[in-house]
Chain A
Amino acid sequence: MSHLDTEIQELKSDVLEMWSLVINQITKSKEAIVNFDKEIANEIHVNEKRVDAFELKLNMDCEKILALFNPVAIDLRFVLAALKINYNLERIGDYANGISHVVLDSEKPFCEELLQETRILEMFETSIEMLNEAFASFEKEDKHLVANLFYKDKKLDEVNLEANKIIARLIQKDPQCIDQSLNLLSVIRKLERVGDQTLNIAEEIIFFIEAKVLRHSRPKKIGK
């Protein structure tokens, strides 16, 4: 194995480690919302610093490979993809942290009806599935594993689009839950963005494997 191969394997390993951490952050943010667990929310907030540190480290690793090894072809595409995936993962980490703050700033657990009606748990599950599928695709360098992500992202978009109406109806029905409703609306928005970021990651994986640029060629988002 050449020196460049070793560097690229290490970079891949670090990206996957950061990725696992980010998936964990989103999974925990779901637990924090469902169980109204401020301890877990606080844990997410602390771990956010690790996500940020990973981002800086991966940026420097990519810079080093670009500067010292002048990679070309598939090596170049891998490093460029890793740089962008790193950025997207960091953003997803930010969303998990944002969700943890919703829990930390709330005074009482979210009512079951709100969670059910807004389909927020379904959104969490879909987001986590998307992240796991993209992870497997990157790890195995298999583009087929991201094929379903585009459909799953549409699902997130649909829930997000419906959320306004549902929240408005629930607020009319019970004006006491206005704070909780608006907080959940912000969580829904964040999960919708997690889907978008994961889709960006999928595009980078396809660029790395196939040299195809999908950016800006996707169908327009529902409702936009």
Chain B
Amino acid sequence: MKDTDTIQINEKDTLTYNGLHKAEAKNVNLFYKDFHALKNINLVVKPNTVTALIGPSGCGKSTFLRLFNRMNDLIDGVKITGDVMLEGRNVYGKDIIVDELRKSVGMVFQKPNPFPKSIFENVAYGLRVNGFNHKDKMEDIVERSLIQAALWDEVKDKLKKSAYELSGGQQQRLCIARALAIEPSLILMDEPASALDPLSTSKIEELIYDLKDKYTIIIVTHNMQQAGRVSDYTAFFYLGELIEFDKTKTMFINPQNVKTQNYITGRFG
């Protein structure tokens, strides 16, 4: 990647961070006890881009994703070396409060996981647990988040109904709205459309594309075509190593590493 590429930094970014990189891994190694799961990873994520992480199961892509909101901390025996940076600050620095960090890093999982609450309360949840209870502003934020998640038109007349009444695709967009409500600096998505039908998948992909204007997204996907459609940059992981990282177009037309070519063309192993 060339740091000299023209990039746009939105107003929010300008207020909080003037650097070129939204997120960055510098010489990152991660061990699950004796197992070396990530091996000396160096990767830069630019603001307002979508970066896709691809690779076979067990290659370390989800582990890498979870570095940025410190979800790996929850696993016994994890040891991490190197620097994981978010907006210029080390995520694993002593000054970082994990709860605060997770306010600025939204996450969407493979299966939609709405809370057993109303649609409205699902979106408002993140704000409420952070002590925000201003009623009028809350309504505005919920509406804005649902609009950003392309769900507002479908749910505006049933905000008090249970989130479980929504379809799988709608539930996933609700989870995205929930993540957007806290205005994260970075959104992590771990196979967000793998449990959805093609129509819902298409909506999620369009949403990712639209969200790029305001947010920076890292997405793990097993779907090569999806990586090609939604991402600006693609990183190929294999056996804990970052094999290749480049613009998505380059990765899918002319990958430089034979392992990348074999993987994306389905000739691996």
CB within 8 Å of B: which residues of A? Answer: 2, 4, 70-77, 211
Name 11 interchain pairs, CB-CB below 8 A, sorted by A: A2-B266, A71-B265, A72-B253, A72-B264, A73-B254, A73-B264, A73-B265, A75-B265, A76-B252, A76-B253, A211-B254
- Nearest-Cβ distance from residue A146 to partner chain B, whole angstroms: 19
- Nearest-Cβ distance from residue B226 to partner chain A, whole angstroms: 11
Chain B stretch 220-269: residues in CB contact (< 8 A) with chain A: 224-225, 228, 252-255, 260-261, 264-267
Q: Are A73 and B261 in contact (CB under 8 A)?
A: yes
Give the residues in chain B near A72, CB-CB below 8 Å: 224, 228, 252-253, 264-265
Which of A2, A4, A73 makes the CB contact (< 8 A) with B252?
A73
CB closest chain-B residue, reference A75: B265
CB within 8 Å of A: which residues of B? Answer: 224-225, 228, 252-255, 260-261, 264-267
- Nearest-Cβ distance from residue A198 to partner chain B, whole angstroms: 24
CB closest chain-B residue, reference A73: B261
- Nearest-Cβ distance from residue B55 to partner chain A, whole angstroms: 15
Give the residues in chain A near B225, CB-CB below 8 Å: 70
Q: Bound state CA distance, A71 and B225, in angstroms?
A: 9
Known A71-B265, A73-B254, A74-B265; further 16 A-B contacts with Cβ < 8 A = A2-B267, A4-B265, A4-B266, A70-B225, A72-B224, A72-B228, A72-B252, A72-B253, A72-B264, A73-B252, A73-B253, A75-B265, A76-B253, A77-B254, A211-B253, A211-B254
Give the residues in chain B near A74, CB-CB below 8 Å: 261, 265
Q: Bound state CA distance, A77 and B264, in angstroms?
A: 13
Q: Bound state CA distance, A4 and B253, in angstroms?
A: 17
- Nearest-Cβ distance from residue A9 to partner chain B, whole angstroms: 14
Which of B224, B253, B254 makes the CB contact (< 8 A) with A70?
B224
- Nearest-Cβ distance from residue B243 to partner chain A, whole angstroms: 14
- Nearest-Cβ distance from residue A75 to partner chain B, whole angstroms: 5
Q: Bound state CA distance, A72 and B251, in angstroms?
A: 9
Q: Bound state CA distance, A154 and B108, in angstroms?
A: 60
CB closest chain-B residue, reference A212: B254
Q: Bound state CA distance, A77 and B266, in angstroms?
A: 15
CB closest chain-B residue, reference A76: B253
CB closest chain-A residue, reference B228: A72
- Nearest-Cβ distance from residue B194 to partner chain A, whole angstroms: 17
Give the residues in chain B near A71, CB-CB below 8 Å: 265
Q: Bound state CA distance, A16 and B236, in angstroms?
A: 35
- Nearest-Cβ distance from residue B209 to partner chain A, whole angstroms: 18
Q: Bound state CA distance, A155 and B264, in angstroms?
A: 42
Give the residues in chain B near A77, CB-CB below 8 Å: 253-254
- Nearest-Cβ distance from residue B246 to partner chain A, whole angstroms: 12
Q: Bound state CA distance, A75 and B224, in angstroms?
A: 14
Q: Bound state CA distance, A76 and B267, in angstroms?
A: 14
CB closest chain-B residue, reference A71: B265
Q: Bound state CA distance, A53 and B245, in angstroms?
A: 43
CB closest chain-B residue, reference A69: B266
Give the residues in chain A near B261, CB-CB below 8 Å: 73-74
Q: Bound state CA distance, A4 and B265, in angstroms?
A: 9
Q: Bound state CA distance, A73 and B260, in angstroms?
A: 9
Q: Bound state CA distance, A74 and B257, in angstroms?
A: 12
- Nearest-Cβ distance from residue B231 to partner chain A, whole angstroms: 13
- Nearest-Cβ distance from residue B192 to partner chain A, whole angstroms: 20
CB closest chain-A residue, reference B252: A72
Q: Are B255 and A73 in contact (CB under 8 A)?
A: yes
Question: Which 3 A-B pairs have CB atoms at the shortest separation, nearest pair first?
Answer: A211-B254, A72-B252, A73-B261
- Nearest-Cβ distance from residue B68 to partner chain A, whole angstroms: 27
Q: Bound state CA distance, A70 and B224, in angstroms?
A: 9
- Nearest-Cβ distance from residue A128 to partner chain B, whole angstroms: 33
Q: Bound state CA distance, A77 and B253, in angstroms?
A: 7
Give the residues in chain A near B253, CB-CB below 8 Å: 72-73, 76-77, 211
Give the residues in chain A near B254, CB-CB below 8 Å: 73, 77, 211
